[in-house]
Amino acid sequence: MRKLDRAPLAVTAVHDQPIPMRDGTILRADVHRPAEGEPVPTLLVRNPYGEGLGRAMPVVPALEAGFAVVIQHCRGRGTSDGMFEPWADEPSDGADTVRWVTAQPWSNELVVGWGISYVAGTALQTAIERPEGYVGIVAAQTPADFYDDLTYIGGALALGSAQGWAAMQGLLGGQHAMLAGEDAGSLLGAALPAMFDPDAARSALPLRDALGLPGASPFWADWLDHPSRDEYWTKFGTPRDNYAAIDVPVYHVASWYDLFLSGTLENHAALGGPLVIGPWTHGGLHANGAGEAYFGPGSPAMILQLEADQLGFLREVVTDGEPNPARPPVKIFVMGENVWRDEQEWPLARTVFTPWYLRAGGSLGPATSTGTSTFVSDPRDPVPTVGGSLLFPEFNTAGPHDQRVLDGRTDILRFVSPPLDADLEVTGPLTVVLYAATDAADTDWTAKLIDVHPDGTALNVADGIVRARYRNGVDAPDPITPGTPYEYRIDLVATSQVFKAGHSIRVDVASSNFPRFDRNPGNGKLSAEATEADLTMQHQTVFHDAERASHILLPVIPR
């Protein structure tokens, strides 16, 4: 017996449709559209990864929702002509593509953008020139700025993620050269070692050489040559620098263990629109867990509903001119309880920001103490990265992982609360305020929030870093004076975590988290130019007195 009464949808598909850009460069796209009927709106996806699909979904759901779908290879990728430089041409190429689409007879002259990660970034950048007919965006796990998040965090190079992505782009450049009939041997020879022996590439000093990576991805050397957020980074047309120009409705999707969480939250704060935050890692939106944590069937099950809601949002924009105001403004996944919850704003208006103090002797609690804590950091033996918001080539490194593998190290200060008498919900922005001094010319300060279970399992919740010379911002370095205490604000971004009764809250402080971040040599040089001989022991002091009360500011939600 038939259960569905569905008429077949005849579809016309054109592969490698040429689309000219203003400078004469030809970009190519796959076009999927209804074969008959009235003109329809178009879902535009601009992809720098070379595949026809993959990250370029959702073609079939969009066709069923009444859209044509244009999946375009970014300049210099896939079958598109030109040279690829990350982010540089996306505002103009995106706008030119919208103008081409709206001129087609099958188009009703309305276009919306969709994507995850870089693909979502192209959708936001397309809006900067305000091409006529571009009316809405779904942007998931995307940065607000191209200096921050993927490349630098707190002034430190996000080594593992940035180098891995650069190596991948080198391989894609080799693939593009082969499609063009060129000799790709040198490109592939430069990219493969960094891609398939990432440990060696990350450990190489000076980092600029990185097993020859600049030969595959010339922008790698540019990234290292610009450790401050200078004109090199602002020339690209970032969302952050162009919020006033992005005047279309945007639906934001973020993840607690995504390296672009900070950027997505910033985009939402500036642009408005619905915000969904789930418990996923970067690209892992359909998983029922992250790292070593299991979040239950509700985590991936919600994705099917969210994908339908995203297409519904775009359908509302092209039909009614604006999204349905009845949609919940914010939807978050509360870890620990593993439930979805609707909210009215982000951060939550009922948040009580509460300092928990890092106390001498290693305790953590609501009262201050006196004294100092000390440790020695050796960049020759940095604290290994265990979990976090990562984008490494290695599978399953991101997310929460048991920190007990770091037990016994003397270069980590641990501050632990007594077991909680009752559940404590922490939902919102997270900051560690650290008063500290070093005998080095420069150093890093890292902080990690950890949920310690009664059986000893210690899962990371959030972490961050600040490079001492960038304690006052990343526009320009401000050298420190060795031995002088400074206030450091370490941004752990945000979370929603219920620390259950019987669990303990822990904050770990160190001066390295490698290879998530590059090693700070300690003598004032950067890892881009430093050699092994430059690596300097760093003697660190953290203060706990009333005037310099180091603490974590927890966004507590009353219950």
- Three-state secondary-structure class, residue 214: helix
- Three-state secondary-structure class, residue 428: strand
Decide: 232 and 226 in contact? Cβ < 8 Å: yes
CA distances from 428 to 103, 346, 411, 425 (A): 45, 8, 29, 10
Q: Which of 176, 268, 282, 503 is catalytic?
A: 282
Neighbouring residues of 241: CB distance < 8 A, sequence distance ≥ 6: 145, 234
- Rounded to whole angstroms, the Cα distance separating 445 from 523 reads 15
Neighbouring residues of 205: CB distance < 8 A, sequence distance ≥ 6: 527, 530, 531, 532, 534
Decide: 172 and 49 in contact? Cβ < 8 Å: yes
Q: Which of 117, 161, 299, 377 is catalytic?
A: 117
Decide: 265 and 254 in contact? Cβ < 8 Å: yes
Decide: 98 and 126 in contact? Cβ < 8 Å: yes
Q: What is the dihedral of CA 170, 172, 176, 181, to 10 degrees?
A: 70
- Rounded to whole angstroms, the Cα distance separating 202 from 404 reads 24
203 is catalytic: no
258 is catalytic: yes
Question: Quick one: tokens of 463?
Answer: 């972490």
Name beta bridge partners: 372: 543
Tokens 């430059």 correspond to what residue? 534
Q: Are strands 250-257 and 156-157 parallel, antiparallel or unpaired?
A: unpaired
- Apex CA 13: angle with CA 10 and CA 14, to 5°? 155
Decide: 19 and 107 in contact? Cβ < 8 Å: no
Name beta bridge partners: 354: 554
- Three-state secondary-structure class, residue 257: strand
- Rounded to whole angstroms, the Cα distance separating 536 from 519 reads 11
> Which backbone phi and psi does 265 adopt, to 5 degrees?
-65, -40
Decide: 469 and 480 in contact? Cβ < 8 Å: yes
- Rounded to whole angstroms, the Cα distance separating 509 from 357 reads 13
- Rounded to whole angstroms, the Cα distance separating 375 from 359 reads 15
Q: Which of 30, 93, 148, 258 is catalytic?
A: 258
- Three-state secondary-structure class, residue 187: helix
Question: Quick one: tokens of 333?
Answer: 């996944």
Residue 198 per-residue DSSP state: H
H runs (alpha helix) in 135-184: 159-179
- Rounded to whole angstroms, the Cα distance separating 553 from 61 reads 43
Decide: 72 and 29 in contact? Cβ < 8 Å: yes
226 is catalytic: no
- Rounded to whole angstroms, the Cα distance separating 205 from 476 reads 24
CA distances from 427 to 79, 125, 490, 510, 555 (A): 44, 30, 17, 24, 6
- Which residues are catalytic, by number? 117, 258, 282
